[in-house]
Chains A and B, each alone.
Chain A
C-alpha cells in the first residue's frame, strides 16, 4: 500500500481509442456486399447458410455463454422459427418477409417456456436433460401434428412466397442480401443488449447467481429475458432457414443438429458475440473444404472441433482477442 502513489492507476481515464473504433466492424458487411457477383449458386448457398447460422449461434450463446446455463433447447427455437414461417407461408399464404417477425416471436415464446425449469432452480445436468427433452418433444409435435406440419415429410415453402415486400428472391444471390441484413440486425441488437445493464445482469448471474441477487438484480426476470431474446434471435434464424432450404422437416431439428449448433458456440467462443459469428462461418464452411476427401469428411470435421476445443478452450474468438483488443467483448460503453 505504501507504494500506492506511483503505481495506482488513475481512477478515471479516457477510454482507449480502440474502443471507439468498433464502427470498423461495419466494414465486414460492406465488404461482403459484392459477393454474389463473384460466387456461383452453390457457393452462394453455403455463404447464405453461414448467415443462417449467425443468429442461431448468437442466440444459443446468450443462454449458454453469457448467462452460463446448460440449456440445450436451441434446436427447439430454431425449429419453431422455421415451422412458423413455413406454416404461415404455406397454409395462410403469407409472404416470407411477413413471417420473420412472427417466427422470432414464436421462438421467444418457446424460449420463455424452455426457461421455466431454470426459474424453478433447475441447473446443470438436470437443466441440460430437461431442455434436451423439450427439443425432442417439439420434434414429436412436428411429426404428429400432420395437418399443420406435414408430419415426417415436412412441408415445402412455396417459392412465390419467398419475397421481400413483393420483391422476389429467386436466386441465392438475392436471398443473400435479405439474409445479410437480418444477420447484421440480430448481431447489432444483441450487441446493444449485451452492453447494456441487461448484459451486465447476465454476466453477474453467470458469475454468481446469489451475488447477483445480492446486488439488486432480479435474477428470475433476467434469466427469462435471456431465454426470450435467445429464442427470438434463433427463431429469426429458423425463418431464414425455411426460406433458404425451401423445405421444413422434423429431421432438420434433431440431436445431430443441436450438436452442430453447440459446436458453433464452442468453436467460436463461449460468451463471445464475435465468436458466435466466427463459429457460424467455420462450422458451416469447414465441411465444404473437406469435400475433396470423400469418406474422411466427417472425421476431419470432428478432428477440427477437437483441436479447437483442446488448444483454444475459449474458442477462435480468444485467438483474435489476443491479436487486437477490439475483439474483446465489452460490457460497458465507457
Chain B
C-alpha cells in the first residue's frame, strides 16, 4: 500500500484507553501534499487514530512512521517537532490568553523570532488580526477554530491533523473553514482530516478511509472518479 511518496505510514496500529481497546490493526498512509479524510460513525475510532499519531494516545501495537522515522509511542512534544501538528476537537486553546499569545505559543519551539510567521497567519486570517488582543474565551466557535488552525500553522506543519474542523460551527463558518482548508491544500501541506460533514470532507479530500469499529472498512480515491455520497453515508452508518 505504501508508496515512496508517503510521508506518514501507519501499520497495524492498535490503541485504546485503559482496558478498552478502540483500534484493532489500522493501516493507512498519507502522501506528500495529499489530503486524506477519515470518516466513520461516532465511536469508530477516528479521534483515537489521530491522537495516536500525535502521541496523546500510546499505541498498544503497530508502527507509525513519519518521513521514515518511527514515531509510535513518542511523547507529543517530540512528534510536534517533526512537523506533525494536530488541531484537536476540543481545540485545546489557551482560553484565557489573547489571540496573539496563543499564536506565539504555537511557534514556541522556534524561540522568540516569530514576527514573520505571525504576519503570515494574520494575512490568512484577517479576522484574527482585528482581534489579536482579544481573549480567546470570548470569541465565537468559528473564530476559536481559526485561532486553533492559525496556531498550528505557526508551528510550520508538514502534516496537519484536523479533528472535525467544522464541528459545532454555524453554516457560515463551515464555509469559511472549508475555504481555509482548500487554501491550505494549495500550499501543499499534507492533511489528515476527520469530518462529519461529508460534503466538506469530499470537497477537500484526495482520498478517504472509512473506519468501522476500529478497523479500516473501506478505501476510496476521490480523484479516480465520481463518488456516490449517499452510498458513503450508508456504508458509514448502516
Residues of A within 8 A of B (CB): 1, 4, 7-9, 11-12, 197, 200-201, 203-204, 207-208, 210-219, 331-334
Least CB distance from A325 to B in Å reads 12
What are 24 A-B pairs at a CB distance below 8 A? A1-B126, A1-B127, A4-B130, A11-B118, A11-B119, A11-B123, A200-B104, A203-B101, A203-B105, A204-B105, A207-B96, A207-B105, A208-B92, A213-B76, A213-B77, A214-B54, A214-B86, A215-B108, A215-B109, A216-B77, A217-B77, A333-B112, A334-B112, A334-B115
Q: Is B81 an interface residue (CB 8 A)?
A: yes
Q: Is B151 an interface residue (CB 8 A)?
A: yes
Q: A215-B77, A216-B108 are in contact. List 8 more A-B contacts (CB 8 A).
A: A8-B126, A8-B130, A11-B118, A11-B129, A197-B108, A207-B105, A211-B93, A332-B104
Given A11-B129, A12-B119, A334-B115, A211:B94 Cβ within 8 A: yes
Which A residues touch B115, using CB under 8 A?
11-12, 334
Q: Total number of A-B contacts with CB less than 8 angstroms?
A: 90
Given A12-B119, A208-B92, A215:B151 Cβ within 8 A: yes
Least CB distance from B225 to A in Å reads 36
Which of B85, B95, B129 gathers most chain A CB within 10 Å?
A: B129
Least CB distance from A68 to B in Å reads 10
Beta-carbon contact of B80 and A4 below 8 Å: no
Q: Which 3 A-B pairs have the closest CB atoms?
A: A207-B94, A216-B80, A211-B92
Q: Contact partner of B129 among A9, A203, A214, A334, CB < 8 A? A: A9
Q: Is B28 an interface residue (CB 8 A)?
A: no
Residues of B within 8 A of A (CB): 54, 56, 75-77, 80-81, 85-86, 88, 92-97, 101, 104-106, 108-109, 111-112, 115, 118-119, 122-123, 126-127, 129-130, 132, 151, 155
Beta-carbon contact of B111 and A197 below 8 Å: yes
Given A11-B119, A200-B105, A332-B112, A219:B77 Cβ within 8 A: yes
Q: Which residue of the partner chain A has the closest CB to B90?
A: A210
Q: Which residue of the partner chain A has the closest CB to B87?
A: A214
Which A residues touch B127, using CB under 8 A?
1, 4
Beta-carbon contact of B93 and A208 below 8 Å: yes
Beta-carbon contact of B130 and A9 below 8 Å: yes
Given A9-B130, A334-B115, A214:B92 Cβ within 8 A: yes
Given A11-B122, A200-B108, A207-B95, A218:B77 Cβ within 8 A: yes
Least CB distance from B204 to A in Å reads 21
Least CB distance from B77 to A in Å reads 5
Which A residues touch B123, using CB under 8 A?
11
The complex places the Cα of A1 from the Cα of B111 at a distance, in Å, of 31
The complex places the Cα of A216 from the Cα of B81 at a distance, in Å, of 6
The complex places the Cα of A119 from the Cα of B26 at a distance, in Å, of 32
Least CB distance from B118 to A in Å reads 6
Least CB distance from B83 to A in Å reads 10
Least CB distance from A167 to B in Å reads 40
Q: Which residue of the partner chain A has the closest CB to B121?
A: A11
The complex places the Cα of A7 from the Cα of B127 at a distance, in Å, of 10
Given A197-B112, A207-B94, A210-B56, A218:B75 Cβ within 8 A: yes
Beta-carbon contact of A215 and B105 below 8 Å: yes
The complex places the Cα of A197 from the Cα of B109 at a distance, in Å, of 8
Which A residues touch B151, using CB under 8 A?
215
The complex places the Cα of A197 from the Cα of B151 at a distance, in Å, of 17
Q: Which residue of the partner chain B has the closest CB to A212?
A: B105
The complex places the Cα of A225 from the Cα of B210 at a distance, in Å, of 44
The complex places the Cα of A211 from the Cα of B76 at a distance, in Å, of 10
Which B residues touch A7, using CB under 8 A?
130
The complex places the Cα of A331 from the Cα of B94 at a distance, in Å, of 15
Which B residues touch A210, using CB under 8 A?
56, 92
Which A residues touch B86, using CB under 8 A?
214
Beta-carbon contact of B75 and A213 below 8 Å: yes
Which B residues touch A219, using CB under 8 A?
77
Beta-carbon contact of B112 and A207 below 8 Å: no
Beta-carbon contact of B130 and A216 below 8 Å: no
Which of B76, B95, B97, B105 gathers most chain A CB within 10 Å?
A: B105
Beta-carbon contact of B96 and A4 below 8 Å: no
Beta-carbon contact of A8 and B77 below 8 Å: no
Least CB distance from B178 to A in Å reads 15
Beta-carbon contact of B118 and A214 below 8 Å: no
Given A12-B115, A12-B119, A204-B108, A214:B80 Cβ within 8 A: yes
Q: Which residue of the partner chain A has the closest CB to B133?
A: A9
